[in-house]
Amino acid sequence: MTQPGIALITGASSGIGLELARIHAQKGGSLVLVARSKDKLEKLKLELENQYHISATVINEDLSDPESAKRIFDKTQKMGIVVDTLINNAGFGGHGLFHSRSLTAEQDMIQVNITSLTNLTHYYIAGMVERNGGRILNVSSGASFMPGPLQAVYYATKAYVTSFTQAISEEVSDKNITATALCPGAVETGFVKAGNLDGIDVWKNAKSAKSVAIYGYKAMEQGKLVAVNERLASFVLNWIVPVLPRKTVLKMSRQSMEKTS
């Protein structure tokens, strides 16, 4: 079996990103692990190197910093690391009425979920085009299929990710490069606590980060454009939501984000 090359994964210290790192290492691929938590990354590096005998490089960066993507790219260039697979996993949300939330928090969300993702993709896809090969996996969300009252900016950022991913996939389709948008529903990660989403019913049936990572990695290998990990959700998002009146969709979306406890 051909080894999968080097994957750069953002948000690799926990949740889906951590599980994607484990999957890639298990397949024999080396890694560039990116996140804010250096201690967690170093621990993961040791785990993966010892268990799978691969090489893992740690880059400690906060993607809410506008210059972080350039620093990450420059570091990998300086070390001579050729990134064959780019996995933009880092992202976060936040609950509440837009006019009541901190504008700084919303701007940071846009920076991480959209701008840094876009910048990293731009930096690394150029090399993929030159080498005529590569894979990109952008972790989006089922939220990307509709507007999200009470998570207005988060839903909008994920709509961008899903749209952007499909567009670039078409642009480089003749270069042996694939781009996949992974659009999971509720997932058991630190996302709920970080985004003040406790008490929302949808997270009571959240899928494990490992199961979502397995599904997403396989979808990337298969070159899927958009991958929704739940069959029923995929049907509803692709075939029911688009034909419903917009105000109905908005009401349904808001109700799903209302706190019940």
Catalytic positions are: 154
- Number of Cβ within 10 Å of residue 121's Cβ equals 20
Which 8-state DSSP code applies to residue 65?
S
Take residue 12 and report the two structure tokens written for it. 């690799």
- CA distances, 97 to each of 31, 106, 153, 246 (Å): 39, 11, 10, 19
- The beta strand positions in 89-174, using DSSP E, are 134-139
Take residue 81 and report the two structure tokens written for it. 């690391």
- CA distances, 51 to each of 48, 102, 203 (Å): 5, 43, 32
In which residue are the tokens 């494990």 written?
Answer: 208
> What residues contact 245, with CB distance under 8 A and at least 6 apart?
none
